Amino acid sequence: MKKVLLFLFSLLIGIALFVWILRIVGWQEIKNAFLVFTGWQGLVILVLTVLMMAVGTWKWKEILRGTGVNIPFKALFGPYLAGFAAMFLAPILVWGGELFRSYVLKDREKIDFDKGMASVIIDRILEWTANLAVIFFGGLFFLLAIELPPIKLVAIFGGVFVIFLAGIVFFFFKSARKESIVKFFLPGNKDRPFEIEKEIFAFFKFENLALWKGVGLSFLKVAVMYLRTWFLVSFLAKGIGILPILSILGFSYLAVMIPIPTALGSHEVIQTFAFGALGLGSSTATAFTMIIRGAELLVALFGLALFFRLGIILLKNTIFRKISKITDRETSHVKIP
């Protein structure tokens, strides 16, 4: 119940921010910006969005291979999309998508849960690392070339960035020293978290080729997102340089870090400021965020259908196994005359 209330609260905050931006910009201005975006342009953005998911699945496949598990790409693509849908539509349910992916691996591919969970945590760590690098360099250019953002934006988005950065730095520090993070947060005997942590630490070794493949694929996904951002800005407004596009992409990553469903409102707020400072217009910023959200929402809805389909299969198999255990237990107590 608490998670549902948190989800509704975060959604209401996003809606309020979104409505506030619409009142400032105006529907007509947004409509004019949308008119530029028709036909094949929309298809390009959607294809690049699907390509991002494909690269993300490829990265997950290579991470699993690095832990000694080789699973075909097509067997991972569905669970990856389902996990993305959970993260995109309900980010307040922390690790919900990752847990789902781990249970699907265990049920369908007979992969140990600890190994599966370690793979999705590694995936998330690598992705956060690449995203934080883009935020840092994009933000640095913006601060040096444009202007300081309003103090409220700095407090909110800067605080989120610092929290995520501190988490990544803490992880790599502990990993390099081979010191348990689980013991730091969960003192006592916690067998499963310790096993997952061992799998993660074993992966994050400099001599591990799979680690560098994962890093490379994380930045390849960033490159695809950069290309999508460049195309969309070019469709909606005048062409701009490489570094301003990096700033816009960095702000997109920053907005997603705030746990509001589909980054509703938070993305509009920060991009409205960024586009205005870059001379691209506030209405263009709102059109940009709505188009990005629309493409990702289409993918997320497809992933949601897979989420329910895989979830039903997972539930059915779990119930069947429990019934089988009960039946076997009762049969074992029956004495043959």
Say whether pLDDT at 220 is over 90. Answer: yes
CA distance 260 to 152: 18
Residue 336 to residue 3: CA distance in whole angstroms: 51
The secondary element (H helix, E strand) that includes residue 74 is helix 73-89
Give 16-43 pLDDT, tens digit per residue.
Answer: 655 555 555 555 555 555 555 566 777 8
Q: What does the alpha-carbon distance between residue 15 and residue 32 come to, in Å, rounded to a whole number? A: 22
CB proximity list for 137: less than 8 A, separation 6 or greater: 246, 250
Helix (H, G, I), strand (E, B) or coil at 337: coil
Question: 314: which 2 tokens?
Answer: 């997972």
Residue pair 217/54 in contact (Cβ under 8 Å)? The answer is: no
Q: What are the backbone dihedrals phi and psi of residue 206, each rounded to the nearest 5 degrees, phi first?
A: -60, -30
Cβ distance 275 to 285 under 8 Å? Answer: yes
335: number of Cβ within 10 Å: 4
More confident residue, 219 or 147: 219
Mean pLDDT value across residues 118-125: 93
Percent of the chain beyond pLDDT 90?
25
3-class secondary structure, 194: helix
Confidence band, pLDDT 50/70/90 cuts, at residue 184? low
Mean pLDDT taken over the chain: 80
The helix-helix angle for 282-332 and 209-236 (nearest 10°) equals 140
Indicate the SS3 state at residue 205.
coil
* The pLDDT of residue 95 is above 80: no
Q: Which positions ≥6 away from 203 have C-beta within 8 Å?
A: 63, 66, 67, 118, 122, 210, 211
The Cα–Cα gap between 314 and 316 comes to 6
Instruction: Read off the pLDDT of each residue in 143-160 and give the average, rounded to a whole number.
Output: 72
pLDDT: is 299 or 26 the higher one?
A: 299
Comparing C-alpha atoms, which of 289, 326, 261, 247 is closest to residue 25? 289
Say what the pLDDT of residue 120 is.
93
On the question of pLDDT at 160 being above 50, the answer is yes
What does the DSSP assignment read for 92-107?
TSTTHHHHHHHHHHHH
List the structure tokens of 239: 């062409």
DSSP 1-25: -HHHHHHHHHHHHHHHHHHHHHHHH
Here the tokens at position 37 are 């975006």
Asked whether the predicted pLDDT for residue 186 surpasses 70, the reply is no
In tens, the pLDDT along 35-65 reads 555 667 778 888 999 999 999 999 999 999 9
Domain boundaries, the chain: 2-315
CA 34 to the chain's CA centroid? 26
- Taking only the tens place, the pLDDT of each residue in 278-296 is 888 777 888 888 888 888 8
Q: Is pLDDT larger for residue 219 or for residue 106?
A: 219
Structure letter (DSSP) for residue 262: G
* pLDDT of amino acid 34: 56
What's the alpha-carbon Rg for the chain, to the nearest Å?
22
